[in-house]
Amino acid sequence: MAKPKLELTWIGKDEEIKLEPRILIEDTEKSYGDPKSENMLIHGDNLLALKALEQDFTGKIKCVYIDPPYNTGNAFEHYDDSVEHSIWLSLMRARLILLRNLLRKDGFICCHIDDSEGPYLKVLMDEIFGRTNYLTTFYVQVRYPEKTLKQDMAFHKEIEQIHIYRKEYGANPNLNLADSSFDKFSFYIKEKKPGKRIVLGGKDVDVFLEGEYEIVESEGSENGLKEIWATGTILDGNSSGRFFRDNLSGRVATDGLGVLYKVYGIGDDKFSYRYFTGPKKANATKGKYFQGVPIAQLKDPDKKQSLPIENYYDLAADFGNCRQEGGVEFRSGKKPEKLLGVILKHFSNEGDWVIDSFVGSGSTSAVAHKMNRKWIGIELKDHAYTHCLLRMRNVIDGLDKAGISKDVSWNGGGGFKFYELALSLLRKDKYGNWVIDEKYNANMLAAAMCKHEGFKYFPDAEIYWKQGKSTETDYIFVTTSFMTVEQIDKMHEEMKPGESLLICAKAFAPECKDRFNNVTIKKIPQMILGKCEFGKDNYDLNIIKANDQAVDDVEDVE
């Protein structure tokens, strides 16, 4: 019997979605700024768009931030947010799997959500990314109760969550950095007489009874010691904690209260010993240890010190005031640039690819751009034009002075390309037969067939039948004309030894088949039928009509 696994199940979880690998068509009128820019703003459903990106971006994205509809049963001004629970889970699952494929091994995904689906999303992400790759959840204060205009609810929704996963073990976030200083190394221990030597846990230990030593607190220096309580996670977390737990925590009965232990051969500082103290009062169990300045810090005192990343952020004021950020008003779940700044600071570096497939008003793209990341933003609705386009133009022109602009001294520059998701390659004719959609011109058809067959569309400047390649010697040619034997013979003559060719033709002479070992000929559209779903454009999360309750009623915050 198969080993049962811990998982979340729902109606339709195992239904397979066979996505059509669409092409993306650049709308050069809408692309903006530096023509060499690789940044992409895509209008269309993100499931199809992520599939479209698969060929070029698998394993390339450093940071995913997504802020999907929360499925709260509320209708926002710009999108409906109420989807039956199972459908929401199915659609999120499909998108998360595609996003996972796009991530680099050292990449991260950060998924913003509220309480409605937060715990379900966590379990779903555990399954897709692996529980061991769960890093943390950021808890974000998004409003204060006294600033929320709506008072007719039983509970205030003050906190939202961001579940954060890495793609694989070894992906390390950028920790907080602080100037290293000796300030905390401010304790000095004076031994008034020699201690009594014992051996504990295989180490020499000098025991000083109360009155035989003195601990003085003064100004921090490279010779000072930092006081650390040996409790909680410390007891497992490092060698001093473990030494205390295993050898000193039960010594009161033997040594008495208020004892100092000098343990030899432990620690990463310049001292050959480390001091510990046991409990001072009856019934107390806790002790402390005294750590010197780590040798690494002594050797390079200017080196910044790494500090853990906080997992609570009070951004209520920023949430209240971000409506106009980027020069575009968007009341439906817009996130402040400051939040995206925190995410991108910790989970990406300059030059990395960042993607947001629910980009809304374009906050992630704007922040990624200002922080010198490369970005992809995907938006289903028309605010791809009315908001993202406008906002990114403002950013590039240096007109956007809001959000993080000041913090990063943003003055403009760069560019992006605007893409539309192509229509489905096939449509049904009046007899119910699948035919190539007439809106596909020859180049689009060739590019689409390349995607279907796993070739990179890369038309050769000289040899017309080399329209794409899967390796340096394996080519594809796509045509809607009738292929004759003479044409195949001519192509074969031009082929170099070791080269192979796949011809996708609407029709061909029967003798073309199996004419040459290194030339395969297949019929379109028959060769791709059944491989994926054609003619389906709606993979939208907004399936069920929501009730019309606005959620984002928050006063501006001073």
**What minimum distance in Å lies between the beta carbon of 174 and ligand SAM?**
22
Q: Burial letters for 405-429: b for 16+ Cβ neighbours within 10 Å, e otherwise?
A: beeeebeeebbbbbbbbbbbbbbee
| Helical spans, DSSP H, in 385-511 | 390-396, 442-453, 485-494
Residue nearest to ligand SAM (CB): 360
**What minimum distance in Å lies between the beta carbon of 75 and ligand SAM?**
12
> Residues 149, 118, 58, 309: is their CA dihedral positive or negative?
positive
SS3 content of the chain, % helix, strand, coil (to 5): 25, 25, 45
If the CB atoms of residues 18 and 303 are measured against ligand SAM, the closer one turns out to be: 18
Q: Burial letters for 278-313: b for 16+ Cβ neighbours within 10 Å, e otherwise?
A: bbeeeeeeebbbbbbbbeebeeeeeeeeeeebeeeb
If the CB atoms of residues 361 and 467 are measured against ligand SAM, the closer one turns out to be: 361
If the CB atoms of residues 242 and 323 are measured against ligand SAM, the closer one turns out to be: 323
Q: How far apart are CA 453 and CA 521, in angstroms?
A: 13
Cβ contacts of 319 within 8 Å, gap of 6 or more: 142, 143, 335, 336, 554, 557
Cβ neighbours, 10 Å, residue 98: 20
**What minimum distance in Å lies between the beta carbon of 325 and ligand SAM?**
8
Given a contact cutoff of 8 angstroms between Cβ atoms, the answer to whether 208 and 195 are in contact is yes
Residue among 386, 555, 539, 417 nearest 49 (CA): 539
Q: Return residues touching ligand SAM (CB under 6 A).
A: 45-46, 67, 69, 78-79, 330, 333-335, 358, 360-361, 363, 378-381, 540-542
**What minimum distance in Å lies between the beta carbon of 418 and ligand SAM?**
15
If the CB atoms of residues 24 and 205 are measured against ligand SAM, the closer one turns out to be: 24
**What minimum distance in Å lies between the beta carbon of 469 and ligand SAM?**
31
Q: How far apart are CA 477 and CA 503, in angstroms?
A: 5
Q: How far apart are CA 242 and CA 261, in angstroms?
A: 15
Q: How far apart are CA 183 and CA 186, in angstroms?
A: 6
**What minimum distance in Å lies between the beta carbon of 144 and ligand SAM?**
20
Partnered with residue 417 across adjacent β-strands are 40
**What minimum distance in Å lies between the beta carbon of 558 and ligand SAM?**
22
If the CB atoms of residues 128 and 198 are measured against ligand SAM, the closer one turns out to be: 128
If the CB atoms of residues 73 and 525 are measured against ligand SAM, the closer one turns out to be: 73
- Region of residue 175 (left: phi > 0; alpha: psi -120 to 50; beta: else): beta
Cβ neighbours, 10 Å, residue 144: 17
If the CB atoms of residues 335 and 346 are measured against ligand SAM, the closer one turns out to be: 335
**What minimum distance in Å lies between the beta carbon of 134 and ligand SAM?**
22
If the CB atoms of residues 528 and 551 are measured against ligand SAM, the closer one turns out to be: 551
If the CB atoms of residues 334 and 374 are measured against ligand SAM, the closer one turns out to be: 334
**What minimum distance in Å lies between the beta carbon of 97 and ligand SAM?**
15
Given a contact cutoff of 8 angstroms between Cβ atoms, the answer to whether 241 and 229 are in contact is no
**What minimum distance in Å lies between the beta carbon of 215 and ligand SAM?**
52
If the CB atoms of residues 419 and 477 are measured against ligand SAM, the closer one turns out to be: 419
In this structure, the chain runs to a length of 558
